[in-house]
Structure 1
Amino acid sequence: MTPDTLARAWIGTPFVHGASLQGVGADCLGLITGLWRQIYGPAPWPLDYSPDWSVTLGPDAMARAADRYLPRAAQLYPGALMLLRLRPHLPPAHLAICAGPTFIHAFHAGGVVESPLSLPWRRRIAGLYHFAPKQES
């Protein structure tokens, strides 16, 4: 199954910071981690982080982590991992799965939801990644 297909089964999962369990709780990284477990097994990245991670780890922490573990994608496609800015002027701090004209993500006010991939959201894309292990060179 593809990441976007699997992610739809997570819709309705409540938002719980640091959690990664379908139907029980997830944040944006928890959703990605849970999908990774379903497809590949244990995730290679840590899931233990504080709510103020961007202050302690730096504003580019999420982009550095994505670059470390995932291969970059040249274009948007269903199943691609999207690294997003929550506001145009802020560093990237949100993860989602592209589902064609929509994207699936977890956020504090709604849990895991499917949202339209509108032009304002497209403008906030800071990175695209294949949802696959990075091959060592």
Structure 2
Amino acid sequence: MSRENSSRAAKAVVAATLGWVGTPYRHQGERKGVACDCLGLVRGVWGELYGRELEYPGPYSADWAEAASDERLIEGLRRHFTEKPVPDIAEGDVIVFRWRPHFQAKHAGIMVGPDRFAHAYQDHGVVVTQLVPQWRRRIAAVFTFPE
């Protein structure tokens, strides 16, 4: 993949993602302008870019602080996205957060600028947030949308 293609793809991801800003929060929602959660944002952007739905993950809890041995979110993303090293994070990448060690990674967002990501969470909906150290240290995985 050339740098130009990669840059063009990242810009398309960012543009699609920013179109979701302001969408209200609803657990397991995934409709732009209506309601979504963090995974609904990722699934919705995927749908806009590829014209088809990303696999449905099945029911999941809204609790970010669940201790569990499985990594359903990360495993699901690995089936469709390309995982990359955390230090290589860039615009257009999906970032996955783990609230504490030994907890499932249960929150996701999409990088929309240097040190800024869009994500959805309760009482706020889809917003753009600075990737400050408190967020950065919780990154569990980073993925790139496929070309």
1:78-126 deviation per Cα after TM superposition (whole angstroms, max 9, x unaligned)? 00010111x2333211110012221000011211000000011111111
Cα gap change, 1:28/1:61 in structure 2, threshold over 3 Å: closer, same or farther?
Answer: same
- C-alpha change, 1:101 and 1:41, in structure 2 (3 Å) is same
Quick check: 1:73 aligned with 2:84?
yes
Residue 73 (structure 2) pairs with residue 62 (structure 1) = yes
Corresponding position: 1:126 with 2:140 = yes
| Distance apart, 1:3 and its partner CA | 1.4
Is contact 1:12–1:23 with CA below 8 Å preserved after alignment? yes
Q: What secondary structure does 1:17 align onto? A: coil
Residue type of the partner of 1:61? R
TM-score (norm 2): 0.79
| Structure 1 gaps, min length 5 | none
**TM, length-normalised to structure 1:** 0.84
Compute the RMSD of aligned alpha carbons. Answer: 2.2
Q: Any gaps of 5 or more consecutive residues in structure 2?
A: 1-10
Q: Distance in 2 between matches of 1:101 and 1:18?
A: 26
Q: Whole-Å Cα distance in 1 between the matches of residues 54 and 93 of structure 2?
A: 18
The answer as to whether partners of 2:47 and 2:54 remain within 8 angstroms in 1 is no
The counterpart of 1:14, out of the listed 16, 24, 32, is 24
| 96-105 vs 41-50, greater mean Cα deviation | 41-50
* C-alpha distance in structure 1 between counterparts of 2:145 and 2:22, whole Å: 22
Q: Does residue 25 in structure 1 map to residue 25 in structure 2?
A: no
The residue number in structure 2 matching 1:93 is 106
Give the whole-Å Cα distance in 1 for the aligned partners of 2:84 and 2:71: 18
What is the CA distance between 1:28 and its match in structure 2?
A: 0.6
Query: Relative to structure 1, is the Cα distance of residues 116 and 104 closer, same or farther in structure 2, using a 3 angstrom cutoff?
Result: same
